[in-house]
Amino acid sequence: MTAATYSGSSSHPEPDPADAAWYRSLNAELTAHGLSPKELERIVADARAEADSAGIAPANLFGPAVLFARELASAMKEGDAAGRDTGHTLGPVVLRLHDVTLRRGRRTVLSNFSLTVRRSEIVAVVGSNGAGKSTLLQACAGLLPTSSGRVERTERFGYAPQLDALAPLLTVDEHLRLFGALDGANQDRAVPTGHQILHRLGWRPNGEQITRTLSGGTQQKLNLALAQLTSPELLLLDEPYQGLDALAYEDLWTLISAWRSSGAGVLLVTHLLRDIDFVDRVVELPAPESYTEAPKTKERAV
């Protein structure tokens, strides 16, 4: 979801003065801590997008701007010092991109992009709208050809795109059987396995329910279950929290952490600041032609 924009037109709501003051305070405090203009722009935009998405004032969501800025600055410095000390052993490489260039028509989305994801690792992709986050995952899944470079990926992978990826007239169980068959799984096992994953996401499905009658959040749960149906070595998740409520969001991260513990590598697209607490590395796509890769900004025991 993009951050709300405001103008003098009566068709747009006026920004709340308290919210505007909070963002100014956040910007000023982060500047005082020596963050670059690019980092400032991204952090403030992400905070605004998250607050708008949640429908909660930033002061209520993040607390006082000064303290929130100090926490972010401290976490970023700790991340720089800690490097990639994730506290667990990484496995073999399950995804490698080498000097990949991606184009949409005449527009270059990513240029000479390289990335490696290993088993037992969670890597988050962040960046502004149009930076190429979803395009990157499509290329990783083999749905979009590269203009140059190469993508090497394990054959055992699952991909959960954003919403609207399901067949609206199929039932829940028909989706599970279909995806199980496509992945070479036993169809008799696909349904109970899928139901088990859905239970862990807080939903006990009616297998005969038509997909188009499900809420957006419930469709997303099915989307995630299909990606993990055959216990892949690599999971590609494009904003997997879309449509989920707070409890389902917690269930999602419990499940993702379990996937990592079981040896899966996870590459996910996010714009939520709090997601950074759960990942091992962050790859930022600040512009279509360049990228920077940085260690995780903050760690939390799972």
In a domain, 298, yes or no: no
Q: How far is CA 271 from the centre of its chain?
A: 7
Q: What is the pLDDT of residue 54?
A: 57
Q: What is the pLDDT of residue 300?
A: 33
Do residue 182 and residue 44 come from a single domain? no
**What is the H or E stretch that residue 26 is in?**
helix 17-32
- Among 32-36, 130-134, 173-177, the range with the most confident prediction by mean pLDDT is 173-177
pTM of the predicted model as reported, rounded to 2 decimal places: 0.67
Rounded Cα gap, residues 68 and 30, in angstroms? 9
DSSP per residue, 72-106: HHHHHHHHHHHTT--SS---SEEEEEEEEEEEETT
In a domain, 103, yes or no: yes
Average pLDDT over residues 2-6: 32
What are 274-294's pLDDT values in tens digits? Answer: 788 889 999 988 565 444 444
Do residue 73 and residue 96 come from a single domain? no
In a domain, 126, yes or no: yes
How many domains are contained in the chain?
Answer: 2
Do residue 68 and residue 98 come from a single domain? no
Q: Please measure the distance between the N-terminal and C-terminal CA atoms of the chain and give it in whole angstroms.
A: 27
Do residue 48 and residue 98 come from a single domain? no
Closest CA to 149 of 112, 115, 108: 112
Do residue 64 and residue 149 come from a single domain? no
Do residue 48 and residue 124 come from a single domain? no
Do residue 153 and residue 45 come from a single domain? no
Rounded Cα gap, residues 302 and 294, in angstroms? 21
Do residue 242 and residue 193 come from a single domain? yes
Do residue 126 and residue 47 come from a single domain? no
Q: What is the pLDDT of residue 65?
A: 79
Q: What is the mean pLDDT of the chain?
A: 80
Q: How far is CA 252 from the centre of its chain?
A: 11
Domain that holds residue 240: 92-284
Do residue 104 and residue 58 come from a single domain? no
Q: Secondary structure of the chain: what % helix, strand, coil (to 5)?
A: 40, 20, 35
Closest CA to 267 of 81, 75, 100, 126: 126
Do residue 40 and residue 124 come from a single domain? no
Do residue 162 and residue 274 come from a single domain? yes
